[in-house]
Amino acid sequence: MQDARVAPKDPAQKRAAFYVLLDKPVGGIPNNDGVGRHPIFLNDERLVTFAKMVGGVSDESLLEMLRTAKGFRKAVHSIGISITGDLPDKTVKFSLGFSGPRGETGSRNSVELITDGMERKLEVAELTWSDTDERPAEFLFELAKPKDMITATVKLYLNDGYQVPEMDPDPPVAFDTPAYQEMIARSCLSTGNNARLKKVFKKLRAGEDVTLAFLGGSITQGAGAVPIQSSCYARLTYEAICRRYAAAPEKVRYIKAGVGGTPSQLGLHRYRRDITRDGTVQPDLVVVEFAVNDLADETKGLCYESLVKAIWDGPGKPAVILLFSVFANDWNLKQRLAPIGWRHQIPMVDVLEAVSPQFRSGVGETSVITRRQYFYDVFHPSNHGHRVMKDCLMYLLQRLDGQQPMEEPVQSPAYYGFDYAGLQFFDRSCLPQGTQVKPGSFSLTDTDLQSVPLDFDEVNTPQFPFNWKKGPGKEPFELRISCSALQMVFKDSGSPEFGRAVVTVDGQALGCYDPREAGWTHCHATVLFNRGETKPHTVQIQMHPDDEDKAFTILGFGWVE
């Protein structure tokens, strides 16, 4: 990796330019090696969305050029970066990274910046490029310590011949106004049945032990919040509940279990481990947030409803709230998931219904909060957005608190199904009785895993550390188990070290699984079979003939008796 040349700012130069980051908080992400790394991803339409949302760019031909490394080089003359922050070490490393066709690392150019607010420029013509560069991948800020925070602005200056509009500044977010309260009220999709939440309020006011839990994807993990642990919606909601309802806040336990890029299908595997802590914790309230992740749920609602059923029927009979977050393109899966809440009378919050209508304010109208104020990037809310999510949840709780108590609802039939409500997870640390595993060449343990901060932690916890990784040799992994349904969890990776694995069940080829499709280190759950009848099965996993020298990591299995 080479340091890029830093071009001096030329005051006389009047190039067309637009912001992709503007006064964006950066940092505050737990990292176990003691360095503060904060990536801002540019792939999967993120850079294009930044250009639209932050820079006001609407020229489709220019936006198309930003999607590829070749187009980026043709359109962009230089990159202006400025940072501010009160840091003991006033220098921060900034990198621009590109990736190859399958997500592999391409070129990376870096520069040392000073937290003085002065703009430094990287001239694109002076950058070092790789032949494998296909698309912009990330801006990476590296700070001395994980808790360090800065404010960053990045502006793209264009080559001659390109024009973009001047950006109009946003007015301040209209918090604590009647218009804001009206916006928040729209998020209340359903108050459902209040019986279980009434019990939670009663315990809080009596000063009893109460456990509040949050289960979801990257938004629940805290992505977009800076610092991620103290500014995420889950933490803000926990603290607001303690202030408003708890006679003894010190007796209110906080459990946060968000893992980026994961749907409810993986949430089923994680609920007992990350929320109930293998049966040692009985939550009183569980907020479930998968409405923007569940496009990756291959069961299209069956796993989500099974997860809701598993929580509802669990020890302690917790209350459940379904939280529907929103992407910057005004999308979530409410149409798929809300019928589950209505069927089972579960309270629901829809953030899309709150914020998206007012993003499209007409001429002469003012948004309560603009799109670029609400979103940190194309997928995740900013600190403002996390506050809005907290306020939506608290509005629902306020509504429920003011209602007359109800009788607990009678169990309704499934909308999609409860097939996986009894799912149990195992890995190499805890084989079910009667289950046999012959690891074959899958004898290693993978330590390069997706890691996230749980609860109040300031360090990351690796996901599924008791795994089986393919090592030298060609012997298949073999599992003998008696069950009615089986899911496999495997590791996605962008590394060329990893290759495809073929799964057979009872001698019949089931499918070929490619861990490199996702392009990053990530946990991936997939259904192997759902037969509806408990029978003994033999499962074999071995590398594809063309990938026998490569790796594949089995993180674990979920099974239904």
Residue 91: pLDDT band with limits 50, 70, 90: confident
| Helix intervals (H) in 123-256 | 178-185, 195-205, 218-221, 228-231, 233-245
Give the mean model confidence (pLDDT) for residues 445-461. 96
Least confident of 13-22, 380-389, 465-474: 13-22
The chain-wide mean pLDDT, for the chain, equals 93
* Six-digit token string for 457: 């932690």
For residue 213, the SS3 value is strand
Give the mean model confidence (pLDDT) for residues 218-228. 96
How far apart CA 333 and CA 353 sit, in angstroms, is: 12
Residue 3: pLDDT band with limits 50, 70, 90: very low
Domains of the chain: 2-158 (2.60.120), 178-401 (3.40.50.1110), 424-560 (2.60.120.260)
β-strands 2-3, 105-114 pairing: parallel
Give the mean model confidence (pLDDT) for residues 374-380. 92
pLDDT of residue 362: 58
Query: Is the per-residue pLDDT at 7 higher than 60?
Result: no
pLDDT of residue 166: 83
pLDDT of residue 108: 95
* Six-digit token string for 67: 């999607």
Residue 61, CA distances (Å) to 32, 57, 64 in order? 42, 10, 5
Residue 13: pLDDT band with limits 50, 70, 90: low
More confident residue, 517 or 446: 446
Token look-up 């009985």 returns: 282
Query: Is the per-residue pLDDT at 1 higher than 50?
Result: no
Give the mean model confidence (pLDDT) for residues 236-242. 98
In terms of phi and psi (left: phi > 0; alpha: psi -120 to 50; beta: otherwise), the region of 451 is beta
Number of H helices, E strands in the chain: 14, 26
Q: Reduce the secondary structure of 138-176 to three states and give it as a string.
A: EEEEEECCCCCEEEEEEEEEECCCCCCCCCCCCCCCCCC
Nearest to 553 by CA among 504, 492, 503, 509: 492
Nearest to 477 by CA among 528, 420, 407: 528
**The overall pTM is greater than 0.85:** yes
- Residues in a beta bridge with 403: none
